[in-house]
Every structure is written in C-alpha cells, then in structure tokens.
Amino acid sequence: MNIEITSRNFKSSNNLLLLIKNKIKKIEKFGAKLINCHIILNKINNDENIEIIVKAKNHEFISSSTSNNFEISLKEAIAKIITQIKKQHSKDIGR
C-alpha cells in the first residue's frame, strides 16, 4: 500500500511521520485489497486535524478527527477507518 502524507500550515517532524507510518501499517491487516492511503495533517490555531483517505479496489474510506494533539487525532481516525473497513468486509462476505 502506498502511503502519502501531506502537512498543511506547519512542517511535520520525522518522529510524527514515523508514528503515522507505523500506525497506518495496522490498517493493512484488515484489508488485503488496499491500494493507497493519503493522510492530511492540518494545524489551525490550537487544533490538530488528521484526515485519512484509504482507497481499496472498489471502495474509498474516509475519516477525520480533530483534537489538541496529533497522536490522539491519529488514534481516533484510524479507529474510524478500521470500523469502516470491517463493515465493508462483512457486507462483501454477505453477498
């Protein structure tokens, strides 16, 4: 899976980028047909927003989370993506 990270309104640190890549690797085990993952980091005033867009073979999963810390936002956004992937997987199996 290709991982693309975009930072808006700030310069992201290497530690943050490594943390994101390690956490995103967890998503891969839930969906074998995942193609691309685009993470958008946005910092506005004291809020830190993460938007994750995961593209699979026939689907696109999108989640977003805002908090005062990127790590918290990342954790919440990944949980939302995993839930979406699991729901879609159960729908695909039921067909």
Sequence spans of domains, the chain? 1-11+34-68
* Distances, alpha carbon 44 to alpha carbons 41, 51, 53, in Å: 10, 14, 20
Nearest to 17 by CA among 46, 33, 41, 49: 41
Q: Residue type at 33?
A: K
Task: Tell me the sheet residues that pair with 44.
Answer: 47
Q: How confident is the prediction for the chain on average, in pLDDT?
A: 91
At 32 the pLDDT is 66
User: How would you class 3 by CB atoms within 10 Å of its CB: exposed for 0-12, middle for 13-18, buried for 19 or more?
Assistant: middle
C-alpha–C-alpha distance, residues 74 and 51, integer Å: 9
pLDDT in tens, 32-71: 688 999 999 999 888 999 999 999 988 999 999 999 999 9
Structure tokens at 34: 């995942």
Q: Which fold has domain 1-11+34-68?
A: Double Stranded RNA Binding Domain (3.30.160)
Which pTM value belongs to this model? Answer: 0.89
The alpha carbon dihedral of 91, 51, 28, 5 has a sign of: positive
